[in-house]
Structure 1
Amino acid sequence: MREQLQQIKAQYRDMLQQQRCRESESSSSSSSSSSSASSVSSSSSSIALEKERAAWGRERSAMQQKVRQLQEQLAECEDEMQRIQARHQRELRAARANGCADENENENAAHAAAASDAV
């Protein structure tokens, strides 16, 4: 679970970085395209520019959707980790309250640590 969480966080950071790069490329591309479009009076040039802007818009929307999806997955993983940790804490308290021998407590603590490491 912990590895999955790290992968989702890495994907999320990558998506944000890609989105920022594309936005900066888009703004510099549109400004240079605007100046060249004003100097060239060809209608095909402005049609190509509009198609490019539409493609950027679709790509940006898709990336934003992916970022939202990754944020949701991240939140779900974090919630699951908190639930597992809380359950392990309850199990440890219950074992201690039942007066388990020190050996059992050590075994439960080791089990809880191993389970949280697996997450």
Structure 2
Amino acid sequence: MPLTLQQRFGANATLSSGKLQITITDLAAVGLDITSPNADQILGSLILINQQNQPATATEDPTVGVTIADSFKTFSTRGEQSQLEYQKTVSLYVPDTTSTVDPDDLVS
């Protein structure tokens, strides 16, 4: 079954008159400190909430157009800083009749 807007973006997410509204407080469910998040923290939280809320069978469900899975964790040096890299695999599913990724073609 396709995920709802609220499952993808949080309980208070709405789409109205061409505006997608996501409530930052909903992203606290994946650990976001909502006092002054930056763009990367918000994007990371959106990825995590999508992964957290997708059903365990999402990769097998032909009605789910986007899935997110854990890949691996590795040590990385960027510039002079040692950091942990958490890789996620994002899969987009379209009908077998298309040759490019068009968001309008995602299965649902």
Tell me the TM-score range normalised by the shorter chain. Answer: under 0.3
The TM-score, its normalising length taken from structure 2, stands at 0.24
More strand by share: 2
More helix by share: 1
Q: Greater Rg, structure 1 or structure 2?
A: 1
The TM-score, its normalising length taken from structure 1, stands at 0.23
Q: Which structure exhibits the higher relative contact order, with contacts defined as CA atoms closer than 8 Å and separated by 6 or more residues?
A: 1
